[in-house]
Structure 1
Amino acid sequence: MIKFFQILFLVFIIALFFFNFFRLTSHALMVGIYPYLLGITLLFGVILIMLYLTKNYMIITVCKGLLLIILVFGVFTGIQIWRNSVLINGYQLKRSIYMDKLMKITSYDEAEKMELTNLQNGIATLIENSTGMPITKKNETTILSGGSKVIDEIIEAFSQAEHHIHVEFFIIRDDEIGKKFKDILIKKTQEGVKVRLIYDGLGSTSFSTSFKKELLAAGVEIGVFDNTLQSILKGKLNNRNHRKIVIVDGRVAFTGGFNIGDEYLGRDDSIGEWHDMHVMIEGEAVNWIQKIFLADWFYITSEAIIDERYFAQNNTEAFMPIQMISSGFDTHWNEISQLYFSMISNAQEKVYITTPYLILNDSLIKALQTAALRGVDVKIILPKKPDLFLVGWANTSFFEKLLKAKVEIYLHEDGFIHSKVILTDNQIVSIGSANFNTRSLFLDYEVNAVIFNEDKCKEVEAIIHDYLKNSHSVAYEDYKKVNIATRLKLWIGRLIIPLA
């Protein structure tokens, strides 16, 4: 029996090397199966080492039992992942029918009436063809770059709610900010406002039972995106809802990088100041953010809400082209990955990127290298201190290839960079929940707001330059030749890429 498990372990090792050698990062099989394959292989290896080192009958029996459990779990998970791929088309069909019904109760001005540059028109066409979401032109938007600003604006919007509040976050913590957030939702529910709340079951592990009970008792409707047990049983443990959305009365919406927790206001001394970006939108684009939320609510609860009261009449006359883009593991085109690739590939002057995670597939690496070699000013800003050391190793493993092509990489020293922003030629800026990593681009549900406006681009550029003031550039010479210990760290970082 031990021989069987040793052979199986060898098969897993070969599979890992195969996936890494051929770099199938963008392949559905890779991002679906690889994380489980890696975890099972590591567990198998540890247990086999224990079996080799011990002669204790009890320990040997327990280890054999664990190997069987892990094997059964692996087979079950593999079947579920395959089953999910079969069921995707069925869910997408139901979602498509639902979205068609929502389309009939909303309207927008045709994009052809807008004057866009070639770059803007190409990106707008890409997003519409891949997501079905057209560019909207009548909007007002405010860039929010500080945690207190974001919370204050959201709380203020809540206080003015008359019909409904829709909230969706990856993380909601039961801390000081979380309690403040909870109290106003309860207050608005008691005033007769309809409140719906979505949170991720794995991301919001600190969302306590008592916290949830208070909200439910007050009448808040709650949808949980796949808790840990559901995720395991469905084979979706590695697929999370990473979106951050707030909508009030179909009139104003918020999206970006902030979650609900004290650390997002810089109250965690171990992290320091938190640097993030959010965007507040009023106008036509809010309707599309509402549709994204309602589609997620439909996915979780099977409740198809079709009511024009959730889509406010737009009274905004300001010209501000904005286009929403959403993606997920079960969508057709890896839409946000395509957006990032196209914004980099079509840049003529500059590409500025801020992200906490830099874990790229080959196409994005080539796009960044080629842009820099063409003479485009390519700057990437990362936090010097990552939130997880293994993620830091994974980030660093890409530095050599990028630096060699003259991509400029900066490490921010004053707190933690969490903003997910890409700015191209001061013509387009994308702000949202999607990081530059495998998880955001291929595994999780994400949403970004894409703004086609020079003034807003310059406003974001000014914030990025503020980041640069407290950052230091990374030199190619530091990564051209590294010692064995550093090389091992980089290799381990590459190994966990499909997980991060």
Structure 2
Amino acid sequence: MRRFRPLLYFVLTLALLYTFKQGFYQERVIKEAPFPSPASSDHTFFVEPEDGREPVVTALREAKESIWLKCYLLSDQKIIDELIKAKQRGVEVKVILEKDPYGGSKLNYKTKRYLEREGILFRWASPEFALTHEKSIVIDRKQAFIMTLNLCSSSFKNNREYGVITACQEEVEEVAKLFEADWKREKYYPQEPNLVVSPQNSRRKILGLIKRSKEKIWLAQLLMEDEEIIAALRRATKRGVRVKLLLASPDRVPINKELPFREEGIQVRYLRKPHLHAKLINFDSEIIFIGSQNCSAPSLNLNRELGILLTDKDLITRLEKIFVKDWEKGQER
């Protein structure tokens, strides 16, 4: 019997490891459900260029304890001034910006000098990500902004953009924890089912929602170049889902000139004015995604990005009206 003890111990060890692994996997699946929880009345949204800076400026002015801001680009002087005023009245202000935006813009370096001169806590985004393209603000750990827009003057004047303001405490906490992790450059695994986070779960969640759609998928996107998303949309049309894709003008985004699915049942139009920088997807009028994620492999797989899934019927109805208006203005090529 003694001869078999090592083998017995080895088998028992494997069994324990398998049990632990299965338990860990099940716990992660339970904690991070793939689809959103039921609707609440804790969400509002704003749309650009119609609403201008006011939603953001008002929140910054009313902050009492803390402002945590993470953005790809921050150059709007009025927003910068409000951050400085908040710091001067005793609010903790922390800012994370992308150090090397695409195209080599140095706007964030100028902003960094402004903020640090006023004693605002500042850090460059973690190099762990190809880019930090997220656009979010946490106010007093009581509300969070999840946006498609960079904080630049063009976003408020010339672009079609969306911003969601959530007061749902679970969502606010998740955005805050994500900020803390990126501030400390630590790993963080999102657990809130309504949030869509790159690189951890954006691809899985968006593909899952496309796969389960039955009637329609409406997309308003800066661009469309992710092969897996394109393939999923093709499959959706083959099972009878009506797909509308509204894109930015090829004059602004040349890659939009070459689309591989014109004859495959996907309706495509281009919005020239305002410039379409938003990222919105409507699944069956039941769930709407709004976030920083573009439909590209780097955005879904490599960047730090943040979006939210909305199920509030009133918000969906209002967002659909904006999409329809833009769709009617859109042009076919």
TM-score class, shorter-chain normalisation, is 0.7 to 0.9
* Structure 2 match to 1:223: 123
Which moved further from structure 2: 463-472 or 213-222?
213-222
Query: Which residue of 282, 286, 291 maps to 2:172?
Result: 286
Question: How far has the Cα of 1:150 moved from its partner?
Answer: 5.4
Distance (Å, rounded) in 1 between the aligned partners of 2:325 and 2:30 = 31
Aligned ranges for residues 189-208 of structure 1 at < 5 Å? 189-203=87-101, 205-208=106-109
1:134 to 1:290, Cα distance in 2 relative to 1, 3 A: farther
Question: How far has the Cα of 1:149 moved from its partner?
Answer: 2.2
SS in 2 for 1:196: strand
Distance (Å, rounded) in 1 between the aligned partners of 2:38 and 2:141 = 15
* Structure 1 match to 2:220: 354
Unaligned runs of 5+ in 2: 1-28
**Contact (CA 8 Å) 1:356, 1:386: kept in 2 or not?**
no
Aligned ranges for residues 343-492 of structure 1 at < 5 Å? 343-361=209-227, 363-389=228-254, 392=255, 395-397=256-258, 399-400=259-260, 402-474=261-333
Structure number with higher strand proportion: 2
Distance (Å, rounded) in 2 between the aligned partners of 1:424 and 1:262 = 31
SS in 2 for 1:183: helix
Question: How far has the Cα of 1:129 moved from its partner?
Answer: 4.4
* Structure 2 match to 1:143: 45
Question: How far has the Cα of 1:297 moved from its partner?
Answer: 0.9
- CA-to-partner distance for each residue in 1:280-332, whole Å, 9 max, x for gaps? 11122211111121111121xx6x9xxxxxxxxxxxxxxxx98112122xx4x
**Contact (CA 8 Å) 2:41, 2:312: kept in 1 or not?**
no
Question: How far has the Cα of 1:147 moved from its partner?
Answer: 3.6
Question: How far has the Cα of 1:151 moved from its partner?
Answer: 2.1
Amino acid at match of 1:254: F
Amino acid at match of 2:182: D
Distance (Å, rounded) in 2 between the aligned partners of 1:415 and 1:452 = 26
Unaligned runs of 5+ in 1: 1-124, 267-272, 305-320, 475-500
SS in 2 for 1:149: coil
Distance (Å, rounded) in 1 between the aligned partners of 2:316 and 2:39 = 16
Distance (Å, rounded) in 2 between the aligned partners of 1:134 and 1:423 = 14
Question: How far has the Cα of 1:338 moved from its partner?
Answer: 1.5
**Contact (CA 8 Å) 1:135, 1:324: kept in 2 or not?**
no
**Contact (CA 8 Å) 2:223, 2:253: kept in 1 or not?**
no
Distance (Å, rounded) in 2 between the aligned partners of 1:188 and 1:406 = 51
Distance (Å, rounded) in 2 between the aligned partners of 1:275 and 1:126 = 36
1:425 to 1:136, Cα distance in 2 relative to 1, 3 A: closer
Question: How far has the Cα of 1:139 moved from its partner?
Answer: 4.7
* Structure 2 match to 1:214: 114
**Contact (CA 8 Å) 2:229, 2:295: kept in 1 or not?**
no
- CA-to-partner distance for each residue in 1:320-372, whole Å, 9 max, x for gaps? x98112122xx4xxx211222122111111100011111022x3222111111
Aligned residues: 298
**Contact (CA 8 Å) 1:147, 1:258: kept in 2 or not?**
no
Distance (Å, rounded) in 2 between the aligned partners of 1:172 and 1:165 = 14
Structure number with higher helix proportion: 1
TM score, norm. by length of structure 1: 0.56
Structure with max Cα Rg: 1
Distance (Å, rounded) in 2 between the aligned partners of 1:250 and 1:184 = 18
Aligned ranges for residues 150-169 of structure 1 at < 5 Å? 151-169=53-71
Question: How far has the Cα of 1:254 moved from its partner?
Answer: 0.7
Identity %: 22
Distance (Å, rounded) in 2 between the aligned partners of 1:140 and 1:254 = 12
Query: Which residue of 148, 155, 161 maps to 1:264?
Result: 155
* Structure 2 match to 1:295: 181
1:156 to 1:148, Cα distance in 2 relative to 1, 3 A: farther
Q: RCO (CA 8 Å, sep 6+): is it higher in 1 or 2?
A: 2
SS in 1 for 2:100: coil
Distance (Å, rounded) in 2 between the aligned partners of 1:455 and 1:339 = 23
1:134 to 1:473, Cα distance in 2 relative to 1, 3 A: closer
SS in 2 for 1:444: coil
Aligned ranges for residues 31-110 of structure 1 at < 5 Å? none
Amino acid at match of 1:324: L
* Structure 2 match to 1:275: 160
Distance (Å, rounded) in 2 between the aligned partners of 1:415 and 1:449 = 23
Distance (Å, rounded) in 2 between the aligned partners of 1:275 and 1:385 = 15
Distance (Å, rounded) in 2 between the aligned partners of 1:172 and 1:214 = 11
SS in 2 for 1:241: coil
